[in-house]
Amino acid sequence: MTARASSEKKIILVGNPNVGKSVVFNTLTGSYTTVSNYPGTSVEVSRGSCSLEGTRYQVLDTPGMYSLLSITEEERVARRILLEEAPHVVLHVIDARNLERMLPMTLQLIEAGLPVVLLVNIMDEAERIGLQIDINLLSEKLGIPVVGGAVGRKRGVAELRQVLCDYQPQRSTFAYATDLEKDVSRITELMAGDYILTQKALALLLLQRDEEIVERLRDRESENFSRVEEVANTIVFERRVDLHLRISLERKRICKGLLAGVQKYDGGQKPVLGERISALTMNPITGIPLVLIVLYFGLYKFVGGFGAGTLVDFLEGALFEERLTPWAIALAENTIPWYWLKELLVGEYGLFTLGVRYAVAIVLPIVGAFFIAFAAIEDSGYFPRLAMLVDRVFKKIGLNGRAVIPMVLGFGCDTMATVVTRTLETKRERIIATLLLSLAIPCSAQLGVIFGLLSTVQGALLVWILSMVLVFLLVGFLAAQVMPGERPMFYMELPPMRLPQISNVLVKTLTRMQWYFLEIFPLFMIASVLLWAGKLTGALEWLVRVMEPVMGALGLPKDVAAAFILGFFRRDFGAAGLYDLQKDGVLDPVQLTVAAVTLTLFVPCVAQFLIMKKERGWKVSLYIFFMVTGLAFAVGWLLNKFLLATGFLA
């Protein structure tokens, strides 16, 4: 037995987006995830474990998929799990309101020979709209265990656990029309390799030109593959008119038969409020003001005011500055004889005084507040509506409405948002999104300080916002012109709007915070060490001196150079540096605005750059790095000239 097979048995969750997979996962494992996960924007697989009657199982939550035939990166990730792990059970979670639409995937999973258990979730909502589902009959017809429930309301959970525990593999088959079956067997007859999925499923995927499957077959069938491919090509050509459609329609036909007698509809009351709000969000006339309201309350008031104001004041002021920092410095003074070590720990850029303090007292509350707001909006089902609203504008900048999710997430943490650009479909979209994130989307840590900084000067915040919007659109537009590629397409399912559920919001916030700390916290430490080394060796001073003439060109005092250098190590360090300068009265309103705009546009922080390198490679990330630097200073220079010429803010 291989190591993998002898380890814990696996339960894999699969299903469309918005069917409550993550809730099922959390219910089964009883805890939030151990590996990064962004529900709804999920690109990674969450793993957790659960215990059923004394046996431990590993539970895997996969990104949403619509079909075994994978098109998006999320779907590929999800399917790879099915292709590679040998599960005890594949738990297919579907929405009771949309059986007809979701059962075809159940068929595909069964056809692939996977050990499927079906969970018909969200039964409560289905009943509310008057849908009656005969779960036992469905189970009988499908030939697999089926559980009905509303896991969000803890309904059906005990039964689900029982079924998972008692599961015995059973085979069930469905037949397509004879001609299609014949064509499939023309391929399966030739196949000799050993696979986790059935040959029939693979043959169908091969006929639908699934690249990953083609590669896998090429690999496993070795010499035999050319014959398989030849037959497959012949069939694809013979059926060139309607192959995909035919397969889908056959599945639909089978599902219709399965659902006969299973599903009854008896009117029921209509949900009104959610639909009305939904309509308001999608109408540009009411939808755009709504976006602004959401931004104002979610971002400005909650993140800027509460997170960056109240919470930071408490943690940074009351906790660190008054208690922890003096205590740590005193402790170091008394116990550490070496200057360099004292500097490393509690100096100006020390691990504790700078690294830990910034991470815990400034970034944690701001990012935490942002993640709460983001999770609440996400759980309400608002993002897909926002996506459809901005799709036309985003098309102009080479993206599609989908990209609104990484973009909004960028206001929390650009580094995390850069990871999430993986959910975009084409390489072109991913590069443009990465560029815009690193240029014109300020992260929450930076926003907090910038709002505080600019709100002291009348009109400065307005100039800053306009500059960001303009640069975002203009650079996006130009990037879309320069980078060749096909027009992105936009499609999205709009889940019903609902009140965010507190448990969901908390779980989502906590998972993101956890990811943030695991991935970003070490980078804070590295940044502190780099700054410390820079200070000791004089490299920092040298860099600042190099930057000073550039500052002159922007009409800024040379002291600002230090803020820019710091800005690279943490975006908010830079902004906070400006804050100090403004307090000392070194900057006039124009200089303050120009500095804030340039700094926001300026190169992303170290963490974002490293993630960019990981996601996009050296070439692209260096290219973006230099482009962003150039653009930031060019815009700063122009803005300075413009403000001086017009006398605005003077």
Partner 1 sequence: MRVSDAAEEILEVLWIATEERGENAVLFENLGIRKGDEGLAELLGLAYVEVHGERVHLRKEGRDEARMTVRRHRLSERLMMDVLDIKGDSGNERACELEHLLRHGVDTKICTLLNHPTTCPHGNPIPPGTCCEEARATGDVGVVALTELKPGEGGEIAYLSATDVRKMQKLMSMGVLPGSDLLLIRVYPSYIFKVGNSEFAVDEDLAREIFIRKGN
Of 140, 179, 242, 333, the one binding partner 1 by CB under 8 A = 242
Q: What is the three-class DSSP state of 497?
A: coil
Q: Taking CB under 8 A as the rule, does residue 78 contact partner 1?
A: no
Q: What is the three-class DSSP state of 119?
A: strand
Running DSSP on this structure, what letter comes out for residue 295?
I
Please tell me the distance from the alpha carbon of residue 160 to that of residue 57, in angstroms, as a whole number: 14
Query: What dihedral angle (degrees, nearest 10) is formed by the CA atoms of 24, 26, 28, 31?
Result: 180
Pairing of strands 89-95, 9-14: parallel
Which of these segments, 162-170, 353-361, 492-500, 587-595, binds partner 1 (CB under 8 A)? Answer: 492-500
For the bound state, the minimum distance from the C-beta of residue 205 to partner 1, rounded and expressed in Å, comes to 11
Q: Taking CB under 8 A as the rule, does residue 257 contact partner 1?
A: no
For the bound state, the minimum distance from the C-beta of residue 244 to partner 1, rounded and expressed in Å, comes to 6
**Shorter beta-carbon distance to partner 1: residue 66 or 633:** 66
Map 1-66 to HEC letters: CCHHHHCCEEEEEECCCCCCHHHHHHHHHCCCCCCCCCCCCCCCCEEEEEEECCEEEEEEECCCCC
Please tell me the distance from the alpha carbon of residue 381 to that of residue 495, in angstroms, as a whole number: 6
Of 352, 370, 490, 532, the one binding partner 1 by CB under 8 A = 490
122 CB burial (10 A radius; 0-12, 13-18, 19+): buried
For the bound state, the minimum distance from the C-beta of residue 493 to partner 1, rounded and expressed in Å, comes to 6
For the bound state, the minimum distance from the C-beta of residue 277 to partner 1, rounded and expressed in Å, comes to 13
Q: Look up residue 608 and give its two tokens.
A: 């974002």
**Shorter beta-carbon distance to partner 1: residue 145 or 148:** 148
**Shorter beta-carbon distance to partner 1: residue 46 or 400:** 400
Q: Phi and psi dihedrals of 49, rounded to 5?
A: -135, 155
Please tell me the distance from the alpha carbon of residue 236 to that of residue 183, in angstroms, as a whole number: 10
For the bound state, the minimum distance from the C-beta of residue 426 to partner 1, rounded and expressed in Å, comes to 11
Do residues 436 and 472 touch, judged by C-beta distance below 8 A?
yes
Binding mask 381-400 for partner 1 (x = CB under 8 A): ---xx-xxxxxx--x----x
For the bound state, the minimum distance from the C-beta of residue 382 to partner 1, rounded and expressed in Å, comes to 13
Binding mask 448-487 for partner 1 (x = CB under 8 A): ---------------------------------------x
Please tell me the distance from the alpha carbon of residue 91 to that of residue 167, in angstroms, as a whole number: 11
Q: What is the DSSP string of 239-276?
A: TTTTHHHHHHHHHHHHHHHHHTTTEEE---PPP-HHHH
**Shorter beta-carbon distance to partner 1: residue 126 or 345:** 126
Interacting positions 104-123 with partner 1 (CB under 8 A): 104-105
Closest among 84, 45, 50, 74 to 61, alpha carbons compared: 45
Beta-carbon-side half-sphere exposure of residue 385 (alpha carbons within 13 Å): 27
For the bound state, the minimum distance from the C-beta of residue 485 to partner 1, rounded and expressed in Å, comes to 14
Interacting positions 176-215 with partner 1 (CB under 8 A): 208-209
For the bound state, the minimum distance from the C-beta of residue 279 to partner 1, rounded and expressed in Å, comes to 8
Q: Taking CB under 8 A as the rule, does residue 20 contact partner 1?
A: no
- Residue 606 parent element (H or E): helix 606-616
Which of these segments, 56-64, 278-286, 294-302, 584-592, binds partner 1 (CB under 8 A)? Answer: 278-286
Which of these segments, 25-33, 102-110, 132-140, 347-355, binds partner 1 (CB under 8 A)? Answer: 102-110
Terminal-residue alpha carbon distance, the chain: 77
Q: Which amino acid is at 313?
A: D
Of 21, 79, 97, 571, the one binding partner 1 by CB under 8 A = 97
Of 189, 313, 348, 493, the one binding partner 1 by CB under 8 A = 493
How many residues touch partner 1 (CB under 8 A)?
44
Of 158, 177, 192, 245, the one binding partner 1 by CB under 8 A = 245
For the bound state, the minimum distance from the C-beta of residue 405 to partner 1, rounded and expressed in Å, comes to 14
Q: Look up residue 213 and give its two tokens.
A: 């499957």
Interacting positions 398-427 with partner 1 (CB under 8 A): 400-401
For the bound state, the minimum distance from the C-beta of residue 635 to partner 1, rounded and expressed in Å, comes to 29
**Shorter beta-carbon distance to partner 1: residue 389 or 605:** 389
For the bound state, the minimum distance from the C-beta of residue 242 to partner 1, rounded and expressed in Å, comes to 7
For the bound state, the minimum distance from the C-beta of residue 372 to partner 1, rounded and expressed in Å, comes to 26
For the bound state, the minimum distance from the C-beta of residue 377 to partner 1, rounded and expressed in Å, comes to 17
Contacts of 494 (CB under 8 A, 6+ apart): 278, 381, 384, 385, 388
Q: Taking CB under 8 A as the rule, does residue 244 contact partner 1?
A: yes
Which of these segments, 281-289, 345-353, 438-446, 589-597, binds partner 1 (CB under 8 A)? Answer: 281-289
Of 59, 60, 69, 190, the one binding partner 1 by CB under 8 A = 69
Q: Taking CB under 8 A as the rule, does residue 67 contact partner 1?
A: yes
Q: Phi and psi dihedrals of 397, rounded to 5?
A: -105, 25
Q: Is 487 left (phi over 0), alpha (psi -120 to 50) or beta?
A: beta
For the bound state, the minimum distance from the C-beta of residue 284 to partner 1, rounded and expressed in Å, comes to 6
Q: Taking CB under 8 A as the rule, does residue 56 contact partner 1?
A: no
**Shorter beta-carbon distance to partner 1: residue 392 or 583:** 392
For the bound state, the minimum distance from the C-beta of residue 399 to partner 1, rounded and expressed in Å, comes to 12
Q: What is the DSSP string of 304-324?
A: IIIIIIIIHIIIIIIIIIIII
Which of these segments, 93-101, 157-165, 325-333, 577-585, binds partner 1 (CB under 8 A)? Answer: 93-101
Beta-carbon-side half-sphere exposure of residue 81 (alpha carbons within 13 Å): 29
Closest among 59, 64, 87, 91 to 75, alpha carbons compared: 64
The 9-14 sheet, strands edge to edge: 46-52, 55-61, 9-14, 89-95, 116-121, 146-148
For the bound state, the minimum distance from the C-beta of residue 252 to partner 1, rounded and expressed in Å, comes to 5
Do residues 594 and 636 touch, judged by C-beta distance below 8 A?
yes
For the bound state, the minimum distance from the C-beta of residue 71 to partner 1, rounded and expressed in Å, comes to 6
Do residues 61 and 151 touch, judged by C-beta distance below 8 A?
no
**Shorter beta-carbon distance to partner 1: residue 66 or 451:** 66
Which of these segments, 217-225, 279-287, 540-548, 587-595, binds partner 1 (CB under 8 A)? Answer: 279-287
Of 98, 162, 188, 263, the one binding partner 1 by CB under 8 A = 98
Contacts of 209 (CB under 8 A, 6+ apart): 236
Q: Taking CB under 8 A as the rule, does residue 282 contact partner 1?
A: yes
Question: Site residues (CB under 8 A) for partner 1?
Answer: 66-67, 69, 71, 97-98, 100-102, 104-105, 129, 208-209, 241-242, 244-245, 248-249, 252, 278, 282-284, 384-385, 387-392, 395, 400-401, 487, 489-494, 496
